[in-house]
């Protein structure tokens, strides 16, 4: 991507975290969902790592591999005109150098933000050491600085998802990790699992960076209440794709069991609307109008 255009998008994305209104992100999982969200009026595109993995036939948890992540993000960046931020889970690499290789590829295609997490170690129920993520954040920050590219690093803290951490210790552990990640170079702090608005407000005051809350499940306060609590970013994560999957299952069951199609036709986009999300192909008009909508 042209450097000037990338710089403009990076600045716009950073400013979206600094306004009075929270940045609400309905997360994308592929090029079509990214364009649909832009068409709906969303000012930035952020990917869902789980949604992207499921859409490619993998379980969540870096199962799809770095190459497929990069390829999928390339398709999103090809069609998106808004700033793009990518969820890279733990970084898709065993070392900071490996993680930087993934981030470098994303920077080159125009990505202006990343989410990177500490995460629960599989099979243990234990959070990965804070120092591991801090080292990766610092390495990525240096990479972006050396490349003279602005990159918004959103550090995800999974204290509320770790079964080994008691409820009483989660808040203090989150604050401790947030300070470590900010010191390493994080621009924002993402804490999924929060639902209590008073606790959210307390955390927003304790962390000297924009606080991101996950709203992909029941029980999360509405955006207005989160804004009043000091939240600057609200992510729906893989929730939209889960809802899309559930709708597809309803469509299938209705067609297979009753032979009707109401769940599909109730609110579907027309073929013209779907085609209109993307640039027209460089072919003759006859070839385009003759195409079948399947």
Q: What is the pLDDT of residues 111-125, one digit of tens each?
A: 999 999 999 877 777
As a residue count, the chain comes to 294
Helices 66-79, 31-39: crossing angle, 10 deg rounding: 30
- Using the 8-state DSSP alphabet, how is residue 280 labeled? P
Look up the pTM and report it.
0.93
Predicted local confidence at residue 294, as pLDDT: 55
The alpha-carbon radius of gyration of the chain (Å, integer) is 20
Distance of CA 138 to the CA centre of its chain: 21
3-state SS of 101-158 is HHHHHHHHCCCCEEEEECCECCCCCCECCHHHHHHHHHHHHHHHHHCCCCCEEEEECC
pLDDT of residue 290: 43
User: How far lies 117's CA from each of 7, 240, 244, in Å?
Assistant: 25, 21, 25
Q: How do the pLDDT tens digits run along the chain, 294 residues long?
A: 788 999 999 999 999 999 889 999 999 999 999 999 999 999 999 999 999 999 999 999 999 999 999 999 999 999 999 999 999 999 999 999 999 999 999 999 999 999 999 998 777 778 999 999 999 999 999 999 999 999 999 999 999 988 888 888 999 999 999 999 999 999 999 999 999 999 999 999 999 999 999 999 999 999 999 999 999 999 999 999 999 999 999 999 999 999 999 999 999 999 999 999 998 887 645 444 444 455
Dihedral of CA 113/217/20/211: which sign?
A: negative
Domains assigned to the chain? 3-237 (3.20.20.60), 239-276 (no CATH)
């Amino acid at each position: 991507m042209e450097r000037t255009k990338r710089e403009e998008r990076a600045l716009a994305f950073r400013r979206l975290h600094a306004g009075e209104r929270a940045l609400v992100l309905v997360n994308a999982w592929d090029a079509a969902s990214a364009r649909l969200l832009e068409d709906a009026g969303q000012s930035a595109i952020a990917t869902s790592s789980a949604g992207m993995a499921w859409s490619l036939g993998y379980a969540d948890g870096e199962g799809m591999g770095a190459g497929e992540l990069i390829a999928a993000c390339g398709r999103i960046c090809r069609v998106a005109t808004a700033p793009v931020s990518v969820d890279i889970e733990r970084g898709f690499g065993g070392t900071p150098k490996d993680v930087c290789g993934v981030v470098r590829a994303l920077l080159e295609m125009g990505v202006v933000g990343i989410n990177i997490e500490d995460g629960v170690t599989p099979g243990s129920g234990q959070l990965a050491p804070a120092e591991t993520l801090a080292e990766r954040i610092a390495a990525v920050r240096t990479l972006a600085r050396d490349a003279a590219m602005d990159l918004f690093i959103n550090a995800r803290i999974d204290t509320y998802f770790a079964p080994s951490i008691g409820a009483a210790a989660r808040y203090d552990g989150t604050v401790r990790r947030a300070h470590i990640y900010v010191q390493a170079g994080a621009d924002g702090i993402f804490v999924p699992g929060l639902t209590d608005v008073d606790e959210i407000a307390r955390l927003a005051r304790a962390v000297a960076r924009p606080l991101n809350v996950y709203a992909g499940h029941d029980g999360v306060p509405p955006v207005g209440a989160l804004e009043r609590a000091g939240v600057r970013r609200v992510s729906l994560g893989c929730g939209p794709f889960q809802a899309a999957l559930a709708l597809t299952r309803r469509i299938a069951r209705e067609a297979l069991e009753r032979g009707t199609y109401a769940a599909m036709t109730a609110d579907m986009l027309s073929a013209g609307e779907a085609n209109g999300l993307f640039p027209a192909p460089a072919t003759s008009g006859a070839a385009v109008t003759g195409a079948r909508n399947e």
